[in-house]
A and B are shown apart, each in its own frame.
Chain A
Amino acid sequence: MSTLLEVSGVSVSFDGFRAINNLSIQIAEPEMRAVIGPNGAGKTTFMDIVTGKTRPDEGRITWGDRSISLIGMNESQIAQEGIGRKFQKPTVFEAQTVRENIVMALKNPRGPFDLLFKRRMSGLEDRVRGISDEIGLTDALDQTSGALSHGQKQWLEIGMLLAQDPRLLLVDEPAAGMTPAEREHTTDLLVRAAKTRAVVVVEHDMEFVRRLNCKVTCLHQGSVLAEGSLDHVTKNQDVIDVYLGR
């Protein structure tokens, strides 16, 4: 296990409000990590910073074996470095088929001319099939993804994330709006993915976090309040105050 992502001393303010305040987190590879915290704790902003959507005011973010800095890189460059992100609201391309969605996400050259002239990509169909089997959407491959159920869209998005073959997956509330059976399936998918790569899950649902059975980081007011096993974190007096004291 080696450190894959290191966030140290990062702060960011919006109009004077400090959304992230001197935040430091290390993620190893492979690892499963759950990030919890009350609303406004900075969980989503943390993801925005790592994926390049928001630029931090100060601090360092280093990535990979050569410890390159992610600050100053744009979203697509960071994604190509191997950081994939799943949004809270499922965002698949609803006008396109499940297959088109997966093919778009598959790790391949990403310039316009690459797509125009290198049409035949090796083993494309097998790779698509592998992903769709994993997320249970093989029968729906040629269906418009807008017609999928909410849970299926969540899976398709996780599948697109897997298709990118990232080293780090950032997953925002994957179980929101899912039935218990769907949640179980989602847990399995994430746990399997975390065997070979780093997976960071932001989640409100403690039951879901318990099932992930992993190290937990609790954020509050933009910095780390407690870190450790779920039991350790939930017994922490500060965490109890923050969650129950409001």
Chain B
Amino acid sequence: MNNSFISRNPSVMWFLLCLAVFTFAVTLLSEASGATFISTSFLKTLGKTLCLCLVAVAMDVVWGYCGILSLGHFAFFGIGGYAIGMWLMYERTREIVETSMSANVLPPTPDEITTAIGSQIFGVVGGSEFPAIWAFSHSLTLQLLAVVLVPGLLALVFGWLAFRSRVTGVYLSILTQAMTLALSLYFFQNDTGLRGNNGLSGLQNIPGLSDVSQATLSLWFFWASAVALGLGYVLFAWITAGKLGSVIRAVRDNEARVRFLGYHVESYKLFVFTITAMVAGIAGALYYPQAGIINPAEITPIASIYLAVWVAIGGRGRLYGAVLGAAAVSLMSSWFTGGSAQDINLGFYVVKWTDWWLVLLGATFVAVTLFFPKGIGGLFDLLPRKKGENA
């Protein structure tokens, strides 16, 4: 059955092939392999980009295929990051605290250790008590489950309430944006117990792997991100192919008509909204250990809007379009804002790319929407194709 699925969807095979070649090439050129072409920090950027591509693919399914312009999927991404970040931070701090305390004359009691870990983590917000939200932070398994289940449950409950009331179109987008804003404000509060606007940091140090160099660790995360993107791509290609995909696209085009065909539209929307939120959580859990830090600014509504912009520029309604859009725009973004782009001196005015990049991005977005609604992915339609082959 998998054979026929791949053969019916040749673009999936091409995508996996390109991803494999890219991963292999980056591995050979990275510092971990002794080469110097790709620095560790650039390797991390590439790994992060793969995670952004994964969340963009999820966004494309929910927006491009199902027609729900969600402005909340980057919040799900951030929640995934926080979930894994809590374990990373707890476990890493515990290692450090236990090492330093083992030099004491008297062996420390478990209570002393917990208090010491607490004051290490929460000293920055003036506390040392563990908030209830950290109850499972000692367990990697539970936090990994949280990476998937917390975004999934949130999407399930929110989606059920919103879709059941038949809120659609721009009103639904506003509602999802309100959810995102509420979440980010909640995360900003010190009382929430997630260190307020400081967020979680030091996430690049993986507990138990302190002997492994960052160059090697980055390569591992890069591989993990590539595998996740490959699996996520196949999963979504499988969902959007065949009859389920047909119904999902029909919901996008005319949901009232789909109802009269006997399909319970809300179940379909809820299914798509929830599964994409779960994948967004996984993408976030892989992204933030490479970024090293997560704070609530990451999940403000603007991040989810960027996500929509990537998908629009890449081309809605085709999965590789989302990948291309996310990769191109986020890499250009780090190039322009990272100081690599030369400022342009016009004599009377200096164009600073750190400021003007956003203007350029906005103009590109407007231009793509007006003149190339199919986005970058639409360029593939211009390729001569063999007879009988379908994208």
Contacts and interface: CB of A to CB of B under 8 A. Distances in A.
A127 to B, nearest CB: 13
B242 A119 contact: yes
Interface in A73-111: 74-77, 79-80, 84-85, 87, 91, 93-96, 100, 103-105, 110-111
Contacts of B242: 115, 119
B262 A115 contact: no
Contacts of A85: 260
B260 A75 contact: yes
Contacts of A111: 264, 267
B239 A116 contact: yes
Interface string B250-264: 100110110111111
Interface residues of A, number: 29
A104 B267 contact: no
B261 A104 contact: yes
B386 to A, nearest CB: 16
A96 B249 contact: yes
Interface residues of B: mostly helix, strand, loop or mixed? helix
A76 B253 contact: no
B262 A93 contact: no
A123 interface: no
Contacts of B268: 112
Given A51-B260, A76-B262, A112 B254 contact: no
Contacts of A110: 262-264
Contact of B261 (A94, A96, A164): A164
Given A76-B265, A95-B253, A104 B243 contact: yes
Interface residues of B, number: 23
Nearest to B269: A112
B246 interface: yes
A94 B250 CA distance: 9
A148 to B, nearest CB: 15
Among A74, A115, A119, the one with the most B-chain Cβ atoms within 10 Å of its Cβ is: A115
Contact of A103 (B246, B249, B267, B271): B246
A193 interface: no
B244 A76 contact: no
A96 B246 contact: yes
Nearest to B259: A75
A135 B262 CA distance: 21
B265 A93 contact: no
A119 B1 contact: yes
B247 interface: yes
A114 to B, nearest CB: 9
Contacts of B256: 53, 75
A160 interface: yes
A76 B263 contact: yes
A100 B262 contact: no
Contacts of B261: 76, 79, 104-105, 160, 164
Contacts of A93: 246, 249-250, 253-254, 257
A87 B260 CA distance: 10
A119 B249 CA distance: 17
Contact of A76 (B239, B250, B259): B259
Q: 4 smallest A-B Cβ distances: which pairs?
A: A79-B262, A75-B259, A115-B244, A112-B271
Interface of B: 1, 239, 242-244, 246-247, 249-250, 253-254, 256-257, 259-265, 267-268, 271
Interface of A: 51, 53, 74-77, 79-80, 84-85, 87, 91, 93-96, 100, 103-105, 110-113, 115-116, 119, 160, 164
27 contacts: A53-B256, A74-B259, A74-B264, A75-B259, A75-B260, A76-B259, A76-B261, A76-B262, A76-B265, A77-B264, A79-B259, A95-B249, A95-B253, A103-B246, A104-B243, A105-B261, A110-B262, A110-B263, A111-B264, A112-B267, A112-B268, A115-B243, A115-B244, A116-B239, A116-B244, A160-B261, A164-B261
